[in-house]
Amino acid sequence: MLSFSIVATSGRARAGLLSTPHGEVETPVFMPVGTAGAVKAVTWSQLEELGARLVLANTYHLMLRPGDALVAELGGLHGFTGWPGPLLTDSGGYQVFSLAALRRLDEEGVLFQSHIDGSSHLLTPERSIAIQMNLGADVVMAFDECPPSTAPREVVAEATARTTRWARRSQAAHRRADQWLFGIVQGGVDPELRETSAREIVELGFPGHAIGGLAVGESRQARDQVLERLMPWLPGERPRYLMGVGTPEDVLDAVGRGIDMFDCVLPTRNGRNGQLFTRSGRISIRNARYRKDARPPDPGCACYTCRTVSRAYLRHLHLAGEMTAAILMTIHNLAHYLDTFRQMRQSILLGRFEEFRTETLRTLAASAADQGGS
Protein backbone atom coordinates (compact mmCIF):
# COMPACT_ATOMS: atom_id res chain seq x y z
CA MET A 1 0.00 0.00 0.00
CA LEU A 2 3.03 2.28 0.39
CA SER A 3 5.62 3.01 -2.26
CA PHE A 4 7.81 5.81 -3.60
CA SER A 5 9.25 6.26 -7.07
CA ILE A 6 11.17 8.96 -8.92
CA VAL A 7 9.55 9.81 -12.25
CA ALA A 8 11.89 12.60 -13.42
CA THR A 9 14.97 14.56 -12.40
CA SER A 10 16.38 17.94 -13.35
CA GLY A 11 19.86 18.32 -11.93
CA ARG A 12 19.46 17.03 -8.39
CA ALA A 13 15.80 18.09 -8.17
CA ARG A 14 13.38 15.16 -8.25
CA ALA A 15 9.73 14.70 -9.21
CA GLY A 16 8.36 11.67 -7.45
CA LEU A 17 5.20 9.78 -6.57
CA LEU A 18 4.40 8.68 -3.01
CA SER A 19 1.59 6.12 -2.84
CA THR A 20 -0.26 5.73 0.47
CA PRO A 21 -3.41 3.94 1.69
CA HIS A 22 -5.28 7.24 1.37
CA GLY A 23 -4.08 8.30 -2.06
CA GLU A 24 -1.10 9.32 -4.13
CA VAL A 25 1.09 12.35 -3.46
CA GLU A 26 3.12 14.03 -6.16
CA THR A 27 6.47 15.33 -4.98
CA PRO A 28 8.00 17.76 -4.29
CA VAL A 29 5.12 18.34 -1.88
CA PHE A 30 4.23 21.00 0.67
CA MET A 31 2.30 19.85 3.74
CA PRO A 32 0.02 22.42 5.39
CA VAL A 33 0.41 22.18 9.17
CA GLY A 34 -2.68 20.96 11.02
CA THR A 35 -1.28 20.86 14.54
CA ALA A 36 -4.45 19.88 16.38
CA GLY A 37 -6.02 17.96 13.50
CA ALA A 38 -7.06 21.07 11.55
CA VAL A 39 -5.26 23.67 9.45
CA LYS A 40 -6.01 27.00 11.09
CA ALA A 41 -8.55 29.26 9.34
CA VAL A 42 -9.45 26.86 6.50
CA THR A 43 -11.78 23.90 6.07
CA TRP A 44 -10.92 20.54 4.56
CA SER A 45 -13.01 21.35 1.47
CA GLN A 46 -11.04 24.56 0.98
CA LEU A 47 -7.78 22.63 1.29
CA GLU A 48 -8.97 20.10 -1.28
CA GLU A 49 -9.98 22.90 -3.65
CA LEU A 50 -6.51 24.41 -3.25
CA GLY A 51 -4.96 21.07 -4.21
CA ALA A 52 -3.43 20.07 -0.87
CA ARG A 53 -2.69 16.35 -0.82
CA LEU A 54 -0.72 15.67 2.36
CA VAL A 55 -1.38 17.30 5.75
CA LEU A 56 0.75 17.23 8.92
CA ALA A 57 -0.65 16.76 12.44
CA ASN A 58 1.16 16.97 15.77
CA THR A 59 1.59 13.98 18.06
CA TYR A 60 2.30 15.94 21.25
CA HIS A 61 -0.68 18.26 20.96
CA LEU A 62 -3.13 15.51 20.02
CA MET A 63 -1.82 13.38 22.89
CA LEU A 64 -2.81 16.15 25.29
CA ARG A 65 -6.09 17.07 23.65
CA PRO A 66 -8.36 15.26 22.83
CA GLY A 67 -6.13 12.22 23.54
CA ASP A 68 -4.95 9.59 21.09
CA ALA A 69 -7.14 6.85 22.58
CA LEU A 70 -10.26 8.89 21.80
CA VAL A 71 -9.03 9.58 18.27
CA ALA A 72 -8.42 5.84 17.75
CA GLU A 73 -11.89 5.01 19.08
CA LEU A 74 -13.46 7.43 16.62
CA GLY A 75 -11.69 6.07 13.54
CA GLY A 76 -8.19 7.48 13.75
CA LEU A 77 -7.37 10.94 12.44
CA HIS A 78 -9.08 10.23 9.12
CA GLY A 79 -12.36 9.21 10.73
CA PHE A 80 -12.14 11.76 13.54
CA THR A 81 -11.33 14.78 11.38
CA GLY A 82 -12.99 13.88 8.07
CA TRP A 83 -9.84 14.53 6.03
CA PRO A 84 -9.88 11.90 3.26
CA GLY A 85 -6.31 12.27 2.01
CA PRO A 86 -2.90 11.18 3.26
CA LEU A 87 -1.68 12.37 6.67
CA LEU A 88 1.73 12.61 8.32
CA THR A 89 2.34 12.92 12.05
CA ASP A 90 5.51 14.20 13.66
CA SER A 91 6.87 12.38 16.70
CA GLY A 92 6.78 15.07 19.37
CA GLY A 93 10.54 15.42 19.09
CA TYR A 94 10.31 19.07 18.04
CA GLN A 95 8.61 19.83 21.36
CA VAL A 96 11.83 18.66 23.04
CA PHE A 97 13.25 21.88 21.59
CA SER A 98 10.27 24.24 21.60
CA LEU A 99 9.03 23.40 25.12
CA ALA A 100 12.45 23.21 26.78
CA ALA A 101 11.23 25.25 29.77
CA LEU A 102 8.46 22.72 30.41
CA ARG A 103 10.32 19.43 30.16
CA ARG A 104 12.97 17.18 31.70
CA LEU A 105 14.94 14.87 29.41
CA ASP A 106 16.81 11.63 30.11
CA GLU A 107 17.57 8.39 28.28
CA GLU A 108 14.10 6.96 28.91
CA GLY A 109 12.32 9.90 27.26
CA VAL A 110 11.01 13.39 27.95
CA LEU A 111 8.80 14.37 30.87
CA PHE A 112 6.64 17.30 29.77
CA GLN A 113 4.54 19.62 31.84
CA SER A 114 1.41 20.28 29.81
CA HIS A 115 1.09 23.86 28.58
CA ILE A 116 -2.69 23.39 28.89
CA ASP A 117 -3.21 22.34 32.51
CA GLY A 118 0.25 21.73 34.00
CA SER A 119 -0.16 17.95 34.16
CA SER A 120 2.90 15.74 33.61
CA HIS A 121 3.30 13.43 30.61
CA LEU A 122 6.20 11.11 29.81
CA LEU A 123 6.86 10.80 26.10
CA THR A 124 9.21 7.97 25.19
CA PRO A 125 9.99 6.44 21.78
CA GLU A 126 7.55 3.63 22.58
CA ARG A 127 4.81 6.03 23.70
CA SER A 128 5.33 8.30 20.69
CA ILE A 129 4.92 5.37 18.32
CA ALA A 130 1.89 4.05 20.22
CA ILE A 131 0.24 7.47 19.92
CA GLN A 132 1.01 7.64 16.20
CA MET A 133 -0.35 4.15 15.63
CA ASN A 134 -3.55 5.25 17.38
CA LEU A 135 -3.72 8.39 15.25
CA GLY A 136 -3.35 6.26 12.14
CA ALA A 137 -1.44 8.62 9.84
CA ASP A 138 0.01 7.23 6.62
CA VAL A 139 3.55 8.42 7.45
CA VAL A 140 4.88 8.63 11.02
CA MET A 141 8.16 9.73 12.57
CA ALA A 142 10.67 8.13 14.91
CA PHE A 143 11.06 9.94 18.24
CA ASP A 144 14.14 12.18 18.23
CA GLU A 145 15.93 14.83 20.25
CA CYS A 146 16.13 18.24 18.59
CA PRO A 147 18.87 20.38 20.20
CA PRO A 148 18.93 24.19 19.95
CA SER A 149 21.14 25.72 17.27
CA THR A 150 23.16 27.45 20.01
CA ALA A 151 23.90 24.25 21.96
CA PRO A 152 27.59 23.35 22.55
CA ARG A 153 29.00 20.62 20.32
CA GLU A 154 29.06 18.05 23.13
CA VAL A 155 25.35 18.62 23.78
CA VAL A 156 24.56 18.23 20.08
CA ALA A 157 26.71 15.09 19.91
CA GLU A 158 24.83 13.48 22.78
CA ALA A 159 21.46 14.44 21.26
CA THR A 160 22.57 12.93 17.96
CA ALA A 161 23.63 9.67 19.58
CA ARG A 162 20.41 9.54 21.61
CA THR A 163 18.36 10.11 18.45
CA THR A 164 19.89 6.95 16.96
CA ARG A 165 19.13 4.96 20.11
CA TRP A 166 15.58 6.29 20.18
CA ALA A 167 15.22 5.48 16.46
CA ARG A 168 15.98 1.81 17.21
CA ARG A 169 13.40 1.80 19.99
CA SER A 170 10.85 3.51 17.74
CA GLN A 171 11.44 0.90 15.07
CA ALA A 172 10.99 -1.96 17.53
CA ALA A 173 7.73 -0.48 18.80
CA HIS A 174 6.15 0.15 15.41
CA ARG A 175 3.72 -2.57 14.28
CA ARG A 176 1.38 -1.10 11.67
CA ALA A 177 2.00 -2.33 8.13
CA ASP A 178 -0.21 0.43 6.71
CA GLN A 179 2.15 3.15 7.95
CA TRP A 180 5.63 4.16 6.88
CA LEU A 181 7.97 5.03 9.74
CA PHE A 182 10.65 7.57 8.80
CA GLY A 183 13.93 7.94 10.67
CA ILE A 184 15.13 11.43 11.54
CA VAL A 185 18.67 12.71 11.00
CA GLN A 186 19.98 15.15 13.62
CA GLY A 187 23.40 16.70 14.27
CA GLY A 188 22.86 20.45 14.40
CA VAL A 189 25.03 22.39 11.96
CA ASP A 190 28.09 20.20 12.55
CA PRO A 191 28.95 18.41 9.27
CA GLU A 192 30.63 15.44 10.96
CA LEU A 193 27.75 14.87 13.37
CA ARG A 194 25.27 15.13 10.49
CA GLU A 195 27.16 12.51 8.49
CA THR A 196 27.36 10.23 11.52
CA SER A 197 23.65 10.58 12.17
CA ALA A 198 22.76 9.98 8.51
CA ARG A 199 24.93 6.89 8.31
CA GLU A 200 23.46 5.41 11.51
CA ILE A 201 19.84 6.21 10.64
CA VAL A 202 20.16 4.91 7.07
CA GLU A 203 21.71 1.66 8.33
CA LEU A 204 18.52 1.00 10.31
CA GLY A 205 16.62 0.55 7.05
CA PHE A 206 13.81 3.11 7.30
CA PRO A 207 11.72 3.50 4.12
CA GLY A 208 12.18 7.28 4.24
CA HIS A 209 14.34 9.86 5.98
CA ALA A 210 13.60 13.20 7.59
CA ILE A 211 16.11 15.95 8.32
CA GLY A 212 15.34 17.53 11.68
CA GLY A 213 17.01 20.18 13.78
CA LEU A 214 17.05 22.90 11.12
CA ALA A 215 14.88 26.04 11.08
CA VAL A 216 15.66 26.36 14.81
CA GLY A 217 17.70 29.55 14.69
CA GLU A 218 20.69 28.68 12.53
CA SER A 219 21.74 30.91 9.63
CA ARG A 220 20.62 30.16 6.10
CA GLN A 221 24.24 29.67 5.10
CA ALA A 222 24.78 27.08 7.83
CA ARG A 223 21.61 25.27 6.81
CA ASP A 224 22.65 25.17 3.17
CA GLN A 225 26.05 23.77 4.13
CA VAL A 226 24.39 21.02 6.17
CA LEU A 227 22.11 20.03 3.29
CA GLU A 228 24.94 20.07 0.77
CA ARG A 229 27.05 17.79 2.96
CA LEU A 230 24.14 15.56 3.93
CA MET A 231 22.49 14.73 0.60
CA PRO A 232 25.01 12.10 -0.60
CA TRP A 233 24.34 10.07 2.57
CA LEU A 234 20.56 9.79 2.03
CA PRO A 235 19.48 7.02 -0.39
CA GLY A 236 18.14 8.47 -3.60
CA GLU A 237 15.40 5.86 -3.98
CA ARG A 238 13.72 6.84 -0.71
CA PRO A 239 11.76 10.01 0.11
CA ARG A 240 13.60 12.87 1.84
CA TYR A 241 11.71 15.20 4.17
CA LEU A 242 13.10 18.54 5.38
CA MET A 243 11.22 19.33 8.58
CA GLY A 244 9.97 22.85 9.32
CA VAL A 245 11.91 24.72 6.62
CA GLY A 246 9.61 26.78 4.50
CA THR A 247 10.39 30.26 3.13
CA PRO A 248 9.97 30.24 -0.66
CA GLU A 249 13.69 30.93 -1.08
CA ASP A 250 14.71 28.07 1.24
CA VAL A 251 12.29 25.65 -0.42
CA LEU A 252 13.61 26.40 -3.90
CA ASP A 253 17.18 25.77 -2.78
CA ALA A 254 16.27 22.57 -0.93
CA VAL A 255 14.33 21.11 -3.86
CA GLY A 256 17.38 21.85 -5.97
CA ARG A 257 19.40 19.70 -3.60
CA GLY A 258 17.04 16.72 -3.83
CA ILE A 259 14.48 17.22 -1.03
CA ASP A 260 10.97 15.85 -1.67
CA MET A 261 8.77 16.81 1.30
CA PHE A 262 8.28 20.01 3.31
CA ASP A 263 6.12 21.43 6.07
CA CYS A 264 6.06 24.92 7.54
CA VAL A 265 3.68 27.16 9.48
CA LEU A 266 4.68 30.28 7.55
CA PRO A 267 1.83 30.46 5.01
CA THR A 268 -0.86 29.99 7.65
CA ARG A 269 0.75 31.91 10.53
CA ASN A 270 1.81 34.80 8.34
CA GLY A 271 -1.62 34.93 6.76
CA ARG A 272 -3.26 35.31 10.15
CA ASN A 273 -0.79 38.11 10.93
CA GLY A 274 -1.35 40.09 7.76
CA GLN A 275 1.56 39.00 5.56
CA LEU A 276 0.92 37.70 2.06
CA PHE A 277 3.25 35.72 -0.17
CA THR A 278 3.04 36.67 -3.85
CA ARG A 279 4.92 35.97 -7.06
CA SER A 280 6.60 39.35 -6.75
CA GLY A 281 7.47 39.08 -3.05
CA ARG A 282 5.83 39.60 0.33
CA ILE A 283 3.12 42.08 1.19
CA SER A 284 2.41 43.40 4.69
CA ILE A 285 -1.27 44.25 4.38
CA ARG A 286 -1.11 46.67 7.32
CA ASN A 287 0.99 49.06 5.26
CA ALA A 288 -0.83 52.34 4.56
CA ARG A 289 0.10 52.12 0.88
CA TYR A 290 -2.66 49.51 0.47
CA ARG A 291 -5.48 51.62 1.96
CA LYS A 292 -6.90 52.46 -1.47
CA ASP A 293 -5.32 49.61 -3.45
CA ALA A 294 -8.04 48.03 -5.58
CA ARG A 295 -5.77 45.31 -6.95
CA PRO A 296 -6.09 41.69 -5.78
CA PRO A 297 -3.34 40.45 -3.44
CA ASP A 298 -1.56 38.81 -6.41
CA PRO A 299 -2.86 39.69 -9.90
CA GLY A 300 -1.35 36.46 -11.25
CA CYS A 301 -3.10 34.20 -8.72
CA ALA A 302 -6.42 32.45 -9.40
CA CYS A 303 -7.30 31.58 -5.78
CA TYR A 304 -10.67 32.52 -4.26
CA THR A 305 -9.16 35.47 -2.39
CA CYS A 306 -7.51 36.98 -5.46
CA ARG A 307 -10.66 36.41 -7.54
CA THR A 308 -12.94 38.21 -5.11
CA VAL A 309 -11.29 40.84 -2.87
CA SER A 310 -8.85 43.74 -3.03
CA ARG A 311 -5.80 44.59 -0.97
CA ALA A 312 -7.74 47.57 0.42
CA TYR A 313 -10.54 45.32 1.66
CA LEU A 314 -8.12 42.83 3.20
CA ARG A 315 -6.35 45.69 4.98
CA HIS A 316 -9.68 46.94 6.34
CA LEU A 317 -10.67 43.48 7.58
CA HIS A 318 -7.30 42.87 9.17
CA LEU A 319 -7.19 46.20 11.00
CA ALA A 320 -10.80 45.69 12.13
CA GLY A 321 -9.87 42.34 13.66
CA GLU A 322 -12.32 40.41 11.48
CA MET A 323 -11.69 36.66 11.39
CA THR A 324 -12.53 36.73 7.68
CA ALA A 325 -9.20 38.47 7.10
CA ALA A 326 -7.30 35.47 8.48
CA ILE A 327 -9.38 33.08 6.38
CA LEU A 328 -8.91 34.98 3.12
CA MET A 329 -5.19 35.56 3.61
CA THR A 330 -4.56 31.97 4.67
CA ILE A 331 -6.38 30.72 1.58
CA HIS A 332 -4.17 32.89 -0.61
CA ASN A 333 -0.90 31.98 1.09
CA LEU A 334 -1.63 28.26 0.87
CA ALA A 335 -2.66 28.67 -2.77
CA HIS A 336 0.63 30.45 -3.45
CA TYR A 337 2.72 27.73 -1.79
CA LEU A 338 0.86 24.85 -3.39
CA ASP A 339 0.98 26.47 -6.83
CA THR A 340 4.72 27.12 -6.42
CA PHE A 341 5.23 23.43 -5.71
CA ARG A 342 3.19 22.49 -8.78
CA GLN A 343 5.33 24.81 -10.88
CA MET A 344 8.51 23.31 -9.41
CA ARG A 345 7.33 19.82 -10.25
CA GLN A 346 6.41 20.85 -13.79
CA SER A 347 9.81 22.48 -14.29
CA ILE A 348 11.48 19.23 -13.17
CA LEU A 349 9.36 17.19 -15.57
CA LEU A 350 10.44 19.55 -18.36
CA GLY A 351 14.10 19.43 -17.28
CA ARG A 352 14.09 23.17 -16.53
CA PHE A 353 14.17 23.37 -12.74
CA GLU A 354 17.37 25.42 -12.48
CA GLU A 355 15.97 28.06 -14.84
CA PHE A 356 12.75 28.20 -12.81
CA ARG A 357 14.65 28.45 -9.53
CA THR A 358 17.00 31.17 -10.77
CA GLU A 359 14.23 33.31 -12.24
CA THR A 360 11.99 32.99 -9.18
CA LEU A 361 14.81 33.88 -6.80
CA ARG A 362 15.76 36.86 -8.97
CA THR A 363 12.18 38.16 -8.84
CA LEU A 364 11.94 37.72 -5.06
CA ALA A 365 15.30 39.43 -4.49
CA ALA A 366 14.31 42.38 -6.66
CA SER A 367 11.03 42.75 -4.78
CA ALA A 368 12.79 42.63 -1.42
CA ALA A 369 15.27 45.30 -2.55
CA ASP A 370 12.43 47.50 -3.84
CA GLN A 371 10.47 47.24 -0.61
CA GLY A 372 13.58 47.85 1.46
CA GLY A 373 14.26 51.07 -0.39
CA SER A 374 10.73 52.41 -0.30
Active-site amino acid positions: 90, 263
Long-range contacts of 129-133 (CB under 8 A, 24+ apart): 129/170, 129/173, 129/174, 129/181, 130/68, 130/173, 131/59, 131/62, 131/63, 131/68, 131/92, 132/59, 132/89, 132/91, 132/179, 133/174, 133/175, 133/176, 133/179
The full DSSP string for 3-19 is EEEEEEEETTEEEEEEE
Q: In what order do the strands lie in the sheet with 87-89?
A: 29-31, 261-263, 240-242, 209-211, 180-185, 139-141, 87-89, 55-57
Distance between CA 365 and CA 123 in Å, rounded?
A: 43
Residue 347 one-letter amino acid? S
Ramachandran assignment for 219, one of left (phi > 0), alpha (psi -120 to 50 degrees), beta (any other): beta
Instruction: Count CB neighbours of 30 within 10 A.
Output: 24
Contact status, residue 239 vs residue 27, Cβ threshold 8 Å:
yes
DSSP conformational letter for 266: H
Closest CA to 137 of 2, 325, 241: 2
- Beta carbons within 8 Å of 36's beta carbon, 6+ residues apart: 57, 58, 61, 62, 65
| Core vs surface per residue 204-237: b (16+ CB within 10 A) or e | eebbbbbbbbbbbebeeeebeebbebbbebbeee
Q: 306: buried, middle or exposed (CB in 10 Å: 19+, 13-18, 0-12)?
A: buried
